Amino acid sequence: MREVAIIGVGMTNWGELWEKALRDIYVESALLAINDAGVDHIDSMYVGSMTSGIFVGQEHLASQLADYLGVLPIPAARVESACASGALAVRMGFMDVASGLNDIVLVSGVEKMTDVTGGDATYALGTAADQEYECFNGITFPGLYAMMARAYMDRYGMTREQLAHVSVKNHQNGSLNPRAQFPMKVTVEQVMDSVMIADPLRILDCSPITDGAAAAILCPLEMASKLSDKPPVKIVGTGAATDTLAYHGSEDLTVLAATVKAAEMAYKMAGVGPEDIDLAEVHDCFTIAEVVVIEDLGLVEKGEGKSAAESGLTALGGKIPVNTSGGLKSKGHPVGATGVGQIVELTEQLRGESGDRQCGSPKRALAQNMGGSGGSAVVHIVEVV
């Protein structure tokens, strides 16, 4: 198996992009990655997208986007795993290059979510939950993650203020990210006084509806220095796993089992442990998700995630910075693009290109992306060469 490097990344500004179609934001991000890599062609491409058929009425994205990018007739495939679609596209691209099947591979994610009403967006996102057992009975993702928050509070004594600190931290980071959808700072008081969505989660605990795309170029590590003059970022570990789709089927409501398993796979492949990670991008679709995920990744002990943001442990200057991009909470969450956006952030951090939110000179980083209420998860570990 060949070693795989990231040699180029690109990402559009994320937000409510009324003037652009899905194909426009996709091509924009893909061209940014191609230009960043300095390559003159690609051999294959993977597109992460959760539910473009509902959001914009367009399926068969692989053909359409290869066409509008001007790379026909290369092989192309759309990849879907709910909100983990982007990370799974990266994993598929990694496997393509590692196997020797193709040399220069474009991995990407895209979602156009604001062209429908709020009710239709809620329905579209709900397709990542169990339709018969959950959606039919009226549950939504804010409700599912509110259950997670309540279970965690009951078991580990997390306060409402501690949960708010996750939002405060990520908005602080997002305020330094020019591509973020909501790059404004918030206070604990503002979070706690914001509109209630599903007790105890308020609107400032929730990631937004977002339009956006992100892309990266992968190639064999041995070719990286010949193709690009930028430091290659090697994918040293990758893991993917699944768990019960319906949240009530989880063995432990305070553990995301697919994330635990995917992390174990990625750490084993990379030959490292949580203590070797310098920074991480994790799936904070809701503030409670970040609390649970950093525990499931082993970045903090179980029950200690509740105070990680409050203590500064996961801040930009902390021991293990988490969501330096602003995370899904501030940067935005165009569901199919999120996992690739995480790779963009980590690549730029490892190359020292993150401007005011640069975290020193990190050597190794981790990305965790998941679908639904944890029914699927993908973890990547990357390091600068």
Same domain, 84 and 180: no
Q: Which of 165, 171, 283, 333 is catalytic?
A: 333
- pTM of full prediction above 0.85: yes
Q: Over the stretch 267-309, which tens digit does the pLDDT of each residue have?
A: 999 999 999 999 999 999 999 999 999 999 999 999 999 999 9
Tell me the three-class secondary structure of the chain, residue by residue.
CCCEEEEEEEECCCECCCCCCHHHHHHHHHHHHHHHHCCCCCCEEEEECCCHHHHCCCCCHHHHHHHHHCCCCCCEEEECECECHHHHHHHHHHHHHHHCCCCCEEEEEEEECCCCCHHHHHHHHHCCCCCCCCHHHCCCHHHHHHHHHHHHHHHHCCCHHHHHHHHHHHHHHHCCCCCCCCCCCCCHHHHHHCCEEECCEEHHHECCCCEEEEEEEEEEHHHHHHHCCCCCEEEEEEEEEECCCCHHHCCCCCCCHHHHHHHHHHHHHHCCCHHHCCEEECCCCEHHHHHHHHHHCCCCCCCCHHHHHHHCCCCCCCCCCECCCCHHHHHCCCCCCHHHHHHHHHHHHHCCCCHHHCCCCCCEEEEEEEECCCCEEEEEEEEEC
How far is the C-alpha of 336 from the C-alpha of 293, rounded, in Å? Answer: 19
Tell me the three-class secondary structure of 342-376, residue by residue.
HHHHHHHHHCCCCHHHCCCCCCEEEEEEEECCCCE
Structure tokens at 50: 């959760």
**Band of residue 183 on the pLDDT scale cut at 50, 70, 90:** very high
Same domain, 273 and 367: yes
Same domain, 249 and 310: yes
Same domain, 45 and 182: no
73 cis-preceded (ω within 30 degrees of 0):
yes
State the total domains in the chain. Answer: 2
Q: Over the stretch 249-278, which tens digit does the pLDDT of each residue have?
A: 999 999 999 999 999 999 999 999 999 999
Residue 101 has a pLDDT of: 98
321 cis-preceded (ω within 30 degrees of 0):
no
Q: Over the stretch 81-97, which tens digit does the pLDDT of each residue have?
A: 999 999 999 999 999 99
Same domain, 133 and 279: yes
Structure tokens at 306: 């509740």
pLDDT, average across residues 45-53 = 97
Has residue 122 been placed in a domain? no
Same domain, 310 and 330: yes
Has residue 123 been placed in a domain? no
> Does the CA dihedral 52-53-56-59 come out positive or negative?
positive
Same domain, 282 and 192: yes
How far is the C-alpha of 106 from the C-alpha of 180, rounded, in Å? Answer: 23
Would residue 283 show up in a list of annotated catalytic residues for this protein? Answer: no
Would residue 206 show up in a list of annotated catalytic residues for this protein? Answer: no
Last residue of some domain: 178, 198, 233? 233
Q: Over the stretch 125-156, which tens digit does the pLDDT of each residue have?
A: 999 999 999 999 999 999 999 999 999 999 99
Domain encompassing residue 74: 4-117+209-233
Residue 43 contacts residue 104 (beta carbons within 8 Å): yes
Same domain, 266 and 166: yes
Same domain, 83 and 190: no
Same domain, 276 and 374: yes
CA angle 307-308-314, nearest 5°? 160
Q: Over the stretch 305-346, which tens digit does the pLDDT of each residue have?
A: 999 999 999 999 999 999 999 999 999 999 999 999 999 999
**Band of residue 192 on the pLDDT scale cut at 50, 70, 90:** very high
HSE (CB half, 13 Å, CA atoms) of 275? 0
CATH value at residue 181:
3.40.47.10
Mean pLDDT, all residues of the chain: 97
- CA–CA distance from 328 to each of 204, 229, 265, 335, 338 (Å)? 12, 31, 24, 9, 7
Residue 137 has a pLDDT of: 93
What share of the chain in percent tops pLDDT 90?
99
Same domain, 275 and 369: yes
Last residue of some domain: 233, 249, 274? 233
Q: Which of 83, 206, 285, 359 is catalytic?
A: 83
